[in-house]
A and B are shown apart, each in its own frame.
Chain A
Amino acid sequence: MDEVAIIGVAQTRYQRDNPASHAEMAYEVTRKALEDAGLTIDDIDNTVTVCNDFWDGRTISCMTITEATGSHKVPTTNVEGDGTYGALMGAMRLLSGLHEVTLVVAQSKVSEGIPAVITNAMFDPVYERSLGLDAINSSALQMRRYMSKYGITEEQCAKVSVKNHKNAKSNPYAHMPLDITVDDVLKSRVLADPIKLLDTSPVSDGACAIIMAVDEVAKKRYSKPVWIRGIGHCADAYHLGDRDLAEVDALVSAARRAYSMAGIQDPVREIDVAEVYDAFSYMELMWMEGLGFCGRGEGGAMIDSGMTGMNGALPVNPSGGVLSAHPVQAAGLARIAEAVLQLRGKADARQVEGATVALAHGIEGACGQGHCVFVLGR
């Protein structure tokens, strides 16, 4: 697949309690993404927003940001899931042949609601919802299952948090740059065993936008655009009890589809940098396995080896990842924006030298029910 390029990206700085309204944040990234692409709003012929009514506290929230995203009088659609799915929709719009330049905008004001109450509503109201399940304690069930099935340790999970918070110190957009040790993570407050405070991602407000174009537009206007080489997505069962929570079947399938489209045969050797959706420390280890960067159950050994560090063979989450900024709807789109910056060689202090192929990954649903994988290249 060589027909869609990403020609503009923008992010807000991620922070708790951003005093801007959700529409003001959407406007900020729309304007900056246009500036980044060297375009005006008149060059955009369709938009995709990424809004979720429960998180936004309003019904049909996407219709409240049409002004902010310049979407009056152009085709606009909303994707309710993670931002990577918004980018997927945007790419499909272009591949349909009906449009030439798509703007995708995702925003989240997580600090305005109560995340545990909102994520509790993910669960079936007739069944598990009454147990008080939410994103944290459901993930704790997954982390324990993963640890006990494969002998992964809390220390190995903590190493992800140490690595990513340290990486965040080189990312001006990150919410939580931290110098912490494995011991700090292990001794942080237990929220839902085995998940401690420093295994979790922060409550972040923020927005991200990307602009995509068909190849004739991209080749005419830009010397070396970033191309989408492959996309794959897949979902697993809804009820937690229907899945073996230590397994990553949907991600394996999503990655296989993306790699097949991109012509990737040996992901560890061919991919230079990855930005993955590490909402909790253990997730990065599981996603390494699902993405085929290591074998099943080898995520712990992989972090021990230092391979995913900034100086390793495959740096993972140089931005600091979702552990360092978690604007829920925008978090997956931010992975794509960061991957684009890496491929442009414009990731400044977090740059992975010579990156030519990058992977970006998003999830949706409890415990990574659905996965969306992008392979980007120069």
Chain B
Amino acid sequence: MAVSSEELGNTGTLKYPSRIRLPYTWHAGKAGSRFYQEIKDHCKIWGTKCPRCGWVYVPPRETCPRCFLDIDEWVEVGDAGTLLTYTITRYSVPGIQPHEPPYALGIIKLDGAGSGLVHLLGEIEPEDIRVGMRVQAVFREVREGNYLDIKYFKPLRS
């Protein structure tokens, strides 16, 4: 079957459009499972604390990446924290984004945590967001045991 000159386009070559469908199921691991269980059942955010360096990891890890040691101490961290950095995503990528753009993302250092948590920011206009501002987690009413059980972080009014 001959290929038409229209199909060949101005480069004289064909393109073959298709898509990759790849169902996949990931295990959250022991630490991740407990992290999500606490959020789902109690709206509490827990981390794990390294016995040597004292760093508190959120999301929790079973090993300290800095000390390469097992961690078994669980600590509850606050649901409020300080915004380290942020951005407003203004372009659309169908299929991967949690909201229609524009939407705000930040890295939040929760009170009592060593590591930062990357998450959504809400209840605030983009121009009002500031590095260093205090924010607090807002949990979804119906929680399913996933990252978006925290709906977003909102400004904490003192």
Contact in complex: A192, B118 (CB < 8 Å): no
Chain A residues in 8 Å Cβ range of B86: 141, 144
Is residue B154 contacting chain A, with contact meaning CB distance below 8 A? no
Identify the stretch in A25-33, A216-224, A235-243, A309-317 within 8 Å (CB) of chain B at 4 or more residues.
A235-243
Q: Is B71 an interface residue (CB 8 A)?
A: no
Knowing A239-B115, A242-B57, A242-B65, the reply to whether A130 touches B90 (Cβ < 8 A) is: no
Distance of B157 from chain A, by nearest CB (Å): 22
Residue contact B131 to A148, C-beta cutoff 8 Å: yes
Structural contact, A126 and B126, CB atoms closer than 8 A: no
Over the window 91-104 of chain B, the binary record of Cβ atoms lying under 8 Å from chain A Cβ atoms (1 yes, 0 no) is: 10101111100010
Q: Which residues of A contact B93 (CB under 8 A)?
A: 114, 116-117, 120, 132, 134
Shortest distance between the CB of B17 and any CB in chain A (Å) = 10
B26 interfacial contact with A, CB 8 Å: yes
Contacts of B98 in A (CB 8 A): 130-132
Q: In the assembled complex, how far is the CB of residue B92 from the closest CB belonging to chain A, in whole angstroms?
A: 9
Q: How far is the CA of A145 from the CA of B126 in the complex (A)?
A: 16
- CB pair B105 A145 closer than 8 Å: no
- Contact partners of A130 in chain B: CB under 8 A: 98, 146-148
Cα(A148)–Cα(B86), bound, Å = 11
Which one, B12, B29, B107, B131, contacts A240 given CB within 8 A?
A: B107
6 tightest A-B CB contacts, nearest first: A241-B116, A132-B97, A140-B87, A19-B11, A145-B85, A19-B13
Decide: A192 and B87 in contact? CB cutoff 8 A: yes
Which chain A positions have C-beta within 8 A of B90?
190-193
**Would B96 and A132 count as touching, CB distance under 8 A?**
yes
Q: Which residues in B have some Cβ–Cβ distance to A below 8 Å?
A: 11-13, 20, 24, 26, 28-29, 32, 57-59, 65, 84-91, 93, 95-99, 103, 105-107, 115-120, 126, 131, 146-148
What are 27 A-B contacts defined by CB distance under 8 Å?
Answer: A57-B20, A116-B93, A117-B93, A117-B95, A120-B93, A127-B118, A127-B147, A128-B118, A129-B96, A130-B146, A131-B147, A136-B89, A137-B105, A141-B105, A142-B85, A145-B84, A148-B85, A192-B88, A192-B90, A193-B126, A194-B87, A195-B87, A240-B116, A241-B115, A241-B117, A242-B57, A245-B107
Chain A residues with CB under 8 A of B91: 116, 136, 191-192
A133 at the interface (CB under 8 A from B): yes
Residues in B whose Cβ lies below 8 Å from that of A242? 57, 65, 115-116
Most chain B CB neighbours (cut-off 10 Å) among A57, A128, A142: A128
Across-interface contacts of A97 in B (CB, < 8 A): none
Instruction: Find out whether the CB atom of A133 lies under 8 angstroms from the CB atom of B118.
Output: yes
Which residue of the partner chain B has the closest CB to A136? B91
CA distance A237 to B118 in the complex (A): 14
**A126 and B147 within 8 A (CB):** yes
Size bin of chain A's contact surface = 35 or more
Residue pair B96, A120 in contact (C-beta under 8 Å): yes
* CB nearest to A112 among chain B residues: B15
A246 → chain B closest CB, angstroms: 9
When A117-B93, A127-B59 are in contact, do A141 and B87 touch as well, CB less than 8 Å? Answer: yes
The residues of A that contact B148 with a CB separation of less than 8 Å are: 130
How long is the Cα–Cα vector from A245 to B90 in the complex, in angstroms?
21
In the assembled complex, the CB of B67 is this many whole angstroms from the nearest CB of chain A, namely 13
Considering the complex, give the chain A residue whose CB is closest to the CB of B109.
A241
Residues from chain B with Cβ under 8 Å of A193 in the complex: 87-88, 90, 126
Determine the distance from Cα of A211 to Cα of B32 in the docked complex, in whole angstroms: 45
Residues 353-369 of A, flagged 1 when their CB comes within 8 A of B and 0 if not, give: 00000000000000000
User: For the complex, what is the distance from the CA of A140 to the CA of B106, rounded to whole Å?
Assistant: 10
Complex CA distance for A20 and B14, rounded to whole angstroms: 10
Q: Please, how many angstroms separate the alpha-carbon atoms of A237 and B61 in the complex? A: 13
Chain B neighbourhood of A195, CB < 8 A: 87
Chain A residue nearest to B91 (CB atoms) is A191
- B110 to A: closest C-beta gap in Å: 10
A133-B90 Cα distance, complex, nearest whole Å: 12
Complex CA distance for A117 and B134, rounded to whole angstroms? 31
CA distance A115 to B84 in the complex (A): 26
A114 vs B57: C-alpha distance when bound (angstroms): 32
- With a cutoff of 8 Å between Cβ atoms, the chain B residues found around residue A140 in the complex are 87, 89
Chain B neighbourhood of A19, CB < 8 A: 11-13
In the assembly, what is the distance between CA of A238 and CA of B58, in Å?
Answer: 13
In the docked arrangement, what's the CA distance between A127 and B119, Å? 10
CB distance from B135 to the nearest CB of A (A): 14
Q: What distance in Å separates the Cβ of A52 from its nearest Cβ neighbour in chain B?
A: 14
Residue of A whose beta carbon sits closest to that of B11 = A19
Contact, CB under 8 Å: A125 / B26: yes
20 extra A-B contacts, CB within 8 A, seeds A131-B98, A145-B107, A245-B107: A19-B11, A116-B91, A117-B96, A126-B32, A127-B147, A130-B98, A130-B148, A131-B147, A132-B99, A132-B103, A132-B105, A137-B89, A141-B118, A190-B90, A192-B89, A192-B90, A239-B59, A240-B118, A241-B118, A242-B116
